[in-house]
Amino acid sequence: MAAGRNLRLVICFLCIALCGCHFFGPRDLAPYNMITDRNELKDLDGVWKATGITYSMIKREKYRMDSVKLILGKDSTFEAVNLPDCLSDQFGEPVKHQLLAATGNWRVEKTGKEWKMIMEFNKGRLFKERSGFEFDLYHSGNSILMSTYLGDPDEVKLLEFEKVR
């Protein structure tokens, strides 16, 4: 009798766990083309502006609204303008609800079949130690986008940037 009840509890727990988790992430990437060809990586330097997805997350997390962008230099350095401080929290939670500037270095790296943008942030107000992030690179129409999840991907805290110049 007790074994049957324990089995039902285990089955119930598994059903809850399976229904509550997004095993493939919360975002359908089918309409996007991941960058797999090195030739598509030309001209990544320049200005990248945050997309509506990023601004929605910033608003939802109660940050003040301001222009968020990355400026990638030809010399593999970057300047970040108004990044939300939740980027520095391992769970993607706001630290002090501040938008902060940061600097660092960038490079592209192949992971499996896809190319990724690796951003190494210098020690500063956003990070107490040098910290790195991997951004997915993909096409949407004629645009090149890059994005990374903050904290739990099921919470859809996404930083996404579009190449504008």
Pick the CATH number of 28-163 from 1.10.357, 2.40.50, 2.40.128, 1.10.1670: 2.40.128
Confidence of residue 18 (pLDDT cuts 50, 70, 90): very low
* pLDDT attached to residue 43: 87
Which tens digit of pLDDT belongs to each residue from 67-112? 999 999 999 999 999 999 999 998 999 999 999 999 999 999 999 9
Confidence of residue 21 (pLDDT cuts 50, 70, 90): very low
Backbone torsions φ then ψ of 13, nearest 5 degrees: -60, -45
Q: Which of 153, 161, 159 is nearest to 22 (CA)?
A: 153
Residue 151 gets the label, from left (phi > 0), alpha (psi -120 to 50) or beta, of left
- DSSP classification of residue 60: H
- The lowest-confidence range among 5-9, 14-18, 144-148, 157-161 is 14-18
pTM over cut 0.85:
no
